[in-house]
Amino acid sequence: MKIRRRSALTLSIMAAVGAALAGCSTDADVVNKNISQDADNFKVPRRVTFINGITDKYLLTVEGYCSVDSGNPAQLTVTCAKDGGYIRNYLGRSDNVTWTVEQLNPAKVSPNFYRVTFKPESLIPDPELR
């Protein structure tokens, strides 16, 4: 019986250590995730610039506390916080237009811990009566 318990305990410890090691990340991975989360929560000032690849001229520049969504290959969605409200811009992409997103100031995030943000407002709906 003791051998079975010891074997079960050893296997459990090995499984826990394996799971912990599988979840290890580099400092850069943690910092990148934390900066992305802060930017999506409008805490990081950014500059989004569109450049014409043929003429090398700026087409558009958007600056502010902006969240960028590049999920759609045909467009870039930029949502910015402004004066207590939000502005959303849809910017089309083509083969001769390139874009950059520049972070304007350093973000103070931890390289050791993932940031978790709880937003109780998103759990409770805000119904609109008409």
Domain boundaries, the chain: 1-40, 41-104
pLDDT of residue 3: 59
End-to-end CA distance of the chain: 70
Per-residue pLDDT tens over the stretch 6-51: 555 565 565 555 545 445 678 888 888 888 888 888 988 999 888 8
pTM: 0.63
Confidence of residue 128 (pLDDT cuts 50, 70, 90): confident
Average pLDDT for the chain: 77
pLDDT of 75 higher than 60: yes
- Own/partner contacts of 97-101, CB < 8 Å, gap of 24 or more, are 97/50, 97/51, 97/52, 97/53, 97/59, 98/50, 98/51, 98/53, 99/48, 99/49, 99/50, 99/51, 100/48, 100/49, 100/51, 101/46, 101/47, 101/48, 101/68
